[in-house]
């Protein structure tokens, strides 16, 4: 399984191309409020930016906090979001330890789903998809004990 990582943020110029690509390609909207990744300045106008993507927690506090099951644990880390189940209570955003869930003005949640569609839009190669091991399912990999 792959997750989005931000290994070269020192190269980031704050262009927000990744955020706009996410909003447009994943969520079919073009708004700062509808991106699963956000870029924030850490003090400068042309340097010092940080990305706020989902860290692919396992177990995911946002999924545990969701009262309707709109956020469910993804095998290997992160979450799957079923927006039709969301009641816009904001419990997911409050539970996120890294402030990676964004609520639009109507309270609809947006979080990185680790699809990687933003990576190719970063002009300075700050983002990448990183392979992480997926733990086996309980019965997977078990072998019959032989004589």
pLDDT, tens digit, for every residue of 77-122? Answer: 889 999 999 999 999 999 999 999 999 888 999 999 999 999 999 9
Cα(105)–Cα(132) distance, integer angstroms: 34
Element (H, E) at 131: strand 128-131
Is the pLDDT at 141 greater than 70, yes or no?
no
Q: Measure Cα distances from 71 to 19, 42, 102, 128 in Å.
A: 21, 30, 14, 24
Q: Is the dihedral of CA 115, 118, 120, 126 positive or negative?
A: negative
Question: Taking a C-beta distance cutoff of 8 angstroms, is the pair 77, 97 a contact?
Answer: no
Domains, the chain: 1-53+112-133 (3.30.70.20), 56-109 (3.30.70.20)
Q: How confident is the model at residue 73 (pLDDT cuts 50, 70, 90)?
A: very high
pLDDT, tens digit, for every residue of 35-58? Answer: 999 898 887 666 689 998 899 999
């Amino acid at each position: 399984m792959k997750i989005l990582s931000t290994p070269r943020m020192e190269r980031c110029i704050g262009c927000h191309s990744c955020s706009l690509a996410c909003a447009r390609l994943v969520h079919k909207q073009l708004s700062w409020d509808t991106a699963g990744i956000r870029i924030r300045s850490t003090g400068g106008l042309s340097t010092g930016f940080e990305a706020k993507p989902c860290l692919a927690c396992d177990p995911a506090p946002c999924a545990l906090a969701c009262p309707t099951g709109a956020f469910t644990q993804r095998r290997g880390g992160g979450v799957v979001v079923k927006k039709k189940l969301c009641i816009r209570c904001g419990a997911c955003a409050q539970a996120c330890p890294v402030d990676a869930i964004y609520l639009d003005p109507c309270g609809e949640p947006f979080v990185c789903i680790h699809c990687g569609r933003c990576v190719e839009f970063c002009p300075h190669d700050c983002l990448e998809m990183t392979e992480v091991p997926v733990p086996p399912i309980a019965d997977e990999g078990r072998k019959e004990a032989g004589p």
